[in-house]
Amino acid sequence: MKVYITEYLAIELETERWQCRRCAEDLGSARDNYKRGLLVYDRDPREIHPPLLDPTRYAYTFAPDPAYTALLEYYCPGCGTMVETEYTVPGHPPTRDIDLDIDSLQRKAREWAAEHGGRIPLPEELQRPRNPRAHTHHHGHGHGHDHDTAEQPA
């Protein structure tokens, strides 16, 4: 049974393995940091945030200093999809941003599947507004008319 964790990550609960949602590449144990199974590119942060001031004239240019800022990009080794990015300090190990209780997740997944005819719905199927509002088409932009579709009394 597969559970979708992020836009690009899933966990196969029977095998307790991280998977890429785009290509199903195995990324390692779900009880460990998924980033260990990804390719890492240590990008110079100035490539993304170029100096706003001339660095030949000013010491501080509003661009991150690579001596103090690391920009790590994590890619799936199977399909090349960028799975995650993180800003950290140079030399810091990858952060563990997702730490799940796999045993509880397995129990909850069985409950979800029982409630949905034996399958776990995709996250996209579950996203709906918390407080649905009635849709109106009134613009009230002050031109002496409106765009409501309901007929107005004469």
Which residues, at least 6 apart from 86, have a Cβ–Cβ distance to it below 8 Å? 71, 72, 74, 94, 95, 97
How confident is the model over 66-86, as pLDDT tens digits? 999 999 999 999 999 999 999
146 found inside a domain = no
Percentage of the chain surpassing pLDDT 70? Answer: 82
- Of the listed ranges 10-19, 30-39, 128-137, 144-153, the least confidently predicted one is 144-153
For residue 144, give both structure tokens: 């002496």
138 found inside a domain = no
pLDDT band at 134 (very low <50, low <70, confident <90, very high): low
144 found inside a domain = no
> Where does the chain show beta strands of DSSP type E?
2-4, 9-12, 17-20, 26-29, 39-43, 70-75, 82-88
82 found inside a domain = yes
Q: Number of structural domains, the chain?
A: 1
SS3 40: strand
Question: What's the confidence (pLDDT) of residue 128?
Answer: 65
| Residues spanned by the domain of 65 | 2-126
92 found inside a domain = yes
Radius of gyration of the chain (CA): 24
Number of alpha carbons in the 13 Å side-chain half-sphere of residue 154: 0
Average model confidence (pLDDT) for the chain? 87
134 found inside a domain = no
